[in-house]
Amino acid sequence: MYHFLVKLLDPFLILYLLTAWALVNLWCKRTESRRRLLLVSVPFVGLTLVCMPAVSHLAIGTLEWWYPPSYDRPPEVQAIVVLSSEMHPPDESGLEAELGPKSIYRCLHAAKLYHRGDGPCPVLVSGGKVDPSEPGPTLAELMRDLLLKLGVAEDDLIVEDRSRSTYENAVESVSLLRERKIETVQLVADAMDLLRAELCFRKQGLDVLPSGCNYHATQWRWRLFNFLPSPGAAKGIERVTHEWLGIVWYKLKERI
């Protein structure tokens, strides 16, 4: 009951329901012309769909369902490649640079794959700084430090800290891998980001076995709040839109 009340009293949901009630009231009273009401009602219906968890679940599934969860490292894998995602840079208050949640999930998953294989194998961490002028370490350096704490041997770690995009992740990583005659890799990223990443690495000529983490659309539950708008669902739609537009853009630029 407590969780139900917390969700019911969410400010976003309250404002949404009040807006919906006001629109219904206007349609019933017809105090405005139908054309004017449509100018408001149509965007409101679109906002409803974009913010609905059920719609967000389906949208995220278009990216994640290509890659069922897997926690094994096949014997043919010659190296694990972990793509970076986000970090919190240091600031003047004394805050040290920290990995963001998605980068941490990826490192945890990569460490699990590393320890579950038949023996040790190279682990390449890929990611520089989106803004080179920012102080502090690169994403790859922070990921290396975390993987060391998770039991990955220092000699097995390869750091690629120049890339600033998924495409650059692939180009820079492949250069380091080919120096070591590595052709088959297990690619680690959020399940939602794997499709574009896999296509980029395959374009560079590698044999890629994708391994996703941080899933959001593995299980569907029929609950009332899955059909009531929420800002979290809108965030999911935004991320899916970014990925599909990125795939189209990369295709036009012949990066995949």
Give the pLDDT score at 48: 84
Say how far residue 72 (Cα) sits from the centre of its chain: 21
Query: Following CA atoms 132, 158, 205, 106 in sequence, which dihedral angle do they give, to the nearest 10 degrees?
Result: -80
> Is residue 45 predicted with pLDDT exceeding 70?
yes
Q: Output the average pLDDT for the chain.
A: 88
More confident residue, 77 or 91: 77
Share of the chain above pLDDT 70, in %: 91
Give the pLDDT score at 38: 73
> Is residue 190 predicted with pLDDT exceeding 70?
yes
**Could you tell me if 81 and 124 are in contact, meaning their C-beta atoms sit under 8 angstroms apart?**
yes
Q: Write down the pTM of the prediction.
A: 0.85
Fold of 79-213: Rossmann fold (3.40.50)
For 127, 129, 130, 135, the CA distances from 89, given in Å and listed in that order, are 14, 10, 11, 7
Domain with CATH 3.40.50.620 in the chain: 79-213
More confident residue, 19 or 83: 83
> Is residue 131 predicted with pLDDT exceeding 80?
no
Give the pLDDT score at 1: 60
Angle at 138 between CA 136 and CA 141, to 5 degrees: 110
> Is residue 26 predicted with pLDDT exceeding 90?
no
Distance CA 220, CA 211 (A): 21
Give the pLDDT score at 11: 67
Binned at pLDDT 50, 70 and 90, residue 17 comes out as confident
Give, as one character, the DSSP assignment of residue 253. Answer: T
